[in-house]
Chain A
Amino acid sequence: DTEVTQTPKHLVMGMTNKKSLKCEQHMGHRAMYWYKQKAKKPPELMFVYSYEKLSINESVPSRFSPECPNSSLLNLHLHALQPEDSALYLCASSQGPARETQYFGPGTRLLVL
């Protein structure tokens, strides 16, 4: 089983809204990732959690706030987003943070109006 699940599948929000994206995996993976992907572009790394601790923040604006409540869950809290933040947000997980295959969830397609 290499399944990573994400909810919601689609999200439309205004610039003043607060929303959260959720990601879950039950493979016992200890590294989890958030990526942002714009149309016809490759995924861009945003955050990495390793053993439930934030290990990489790729200079992401503070309007994106990650949270790892436990080893199976990863959230991305959104607040005061801009229209240019509209994208596909992908969660991935791997057994460990190095040399390991990352498995991606189906993504949340976000539209900011």
Chain B
Amino acid sequence: GQNIDQPTEMTATEGAIVQINCTYQTSGFNGLFWYQQHAGEAPTFLSYNVLDGLEEKGRFSSFLSRSKGYSYLLLKELQMKDSASYLCAVLDAGNNRLAFGKGNQVVVIP
């Protein structure tokens, strides 16, 4: 089974940097995904990590440490449109199911 933990909400100022953490425990690991979800809309794929280290994609970066069961998503130069829920999801190697964390609601203020 999986146990995925994320903090629930954070507020940050436009232009700032915010780090969203995710810890997980799974019986098997086939990669970790980050999705962005605006209220009432579908989750949008942001990043995928399967090896340790940092993946950078524009203003968003994602880091993975498999030994620690830990990932973070870094959002730089925050914009108002970044206000959304950020979901961490782990692909379980044993059953190929994508298990989602509860999501972290980021509120960007001017």
Q: Which residues of A contact B (CB under 8 A)?
A: 2, 40-43, 45, 48, 56, 88, 90, 97-99, 101-107, 109
Contact = CB atoms under 8 A, between A and B. Distances in A.
B26 to A, nearest CB: 14
Interface of B: 30-31, 33, 35, 40-45, 48, 50, 87, 89, 91, 95-98, 100-103
Most interface-central of B30, B50, B87, B91 (chain A CB within 10 A): B91
Q: Is the interface of B mostly helix, strand, loop or mixed?
A: loop
Q: Is the interface of A mostly helix, strand, loop or mixed?
A: loop
B31 A99 contact: yes
Contacts, number: 48
Nearest to B42: A104
A43 B100 contact: yes
Contact of B98 (A40, A41, A45, A105): A45
Contacts of B98: 45, 102
A105 to B, nearest CB: 6
A105 B42 contact: yes
Contact of B50 (A56, A90, A99, A106): A99
